[in-house]
Amino acid sequence: MKFLPLGLAALIAAPAAASDWQLDPEASSVEFVTEAFGRDVTGSFSNFEADIRLDPADLANARIEGRVDVESGDTGNPQYNSEMTGGDGLDAENHPFAVFTSTNVRPASDCAEGEGDCYRADGMLTLRDAEQPAALLFRLLISGNRAVADGELEIARDDFGVGAGNWGSAARSVRVQLHIEASR
C-alpha cells in the first residue's frame, strides 16, 4: 500500500455528486530533495496514501489528506536512511506517519511551469507529533475520469523537531515533490 506524503497526495477530488478520487499508487510518487554536507540529497517514500476530494468548480468542498509512512523513506544511502528515520530524525518507531490535511484549496498563480491549472492547498502538516501550517502548490490536469497533479511542499525540519540532536545545518529545508495520478 502506498501512503501519499505530506499533503500532495490529497490533491485531487471529485464533485459532490461524483465519487472521490482513487490514488493510483503505481503511477504516483513522493520524492524529496535537501542538502547535507554541501551536496544534494534526494530520495523517495514508497508507502503513501491519500483521501482526495477536489472539484475545481467546487473548491469550497475540496479536501486533501495525505499520509506518508516515514519508515519507507529511501535516499539510496543506508547511513542517511538510518539518520532520517531514526530517533533524531523522523523517529519512525514512535511517529510512523507524516500527515498533511488541507483546510482550504484555492486557485493560485505561483506554481512551477507545467500542464494544468495552478492551485494552493493550505493546511496542517504533522511530523513527530508536531503540527505546523503548510502550503502545497500544485498543478492539476483532469481529463475525463483521470487526474494528474504535480506539486511541491517546503518543510523546515527544525519546526518539527527533526534533527535536533547532532544534525547541525544538514537538511534544514526539505522540498517534497509530489506526482499524483488518480481516477474516479
Q: Tens of pLDDT along 48-63? A: 999 999 999 999 999 9
3-state secondary structure of 152: strand
In this prediction, residues 97-120 reach a mean pLDDT of 94
* Arithmetic mean of pLDDT over the chain: 87
CB 73 within 8 A of CB 85: yes
CB 158 within 8 A of CB 173: no
What is the fold, at CATH topology level, of the domain defined by 5-183?
Lipocalin (2.40.128)
* Domains of the chain by residue range: 5-183
Separation of alpha carbons 7 and 176, rounded Å? 9
Indicate the pLDDT class of residue 122, thresholds 50, 70 and 90: very high
| Residue 83 in this model has a pLDDT that exceeds 60 | yes
Indicate the pLDDT class of residue 11, thresholds 50, 70 and 90: very low
| Residue 1 in this model has a pLDDT that exceeds 70 | no
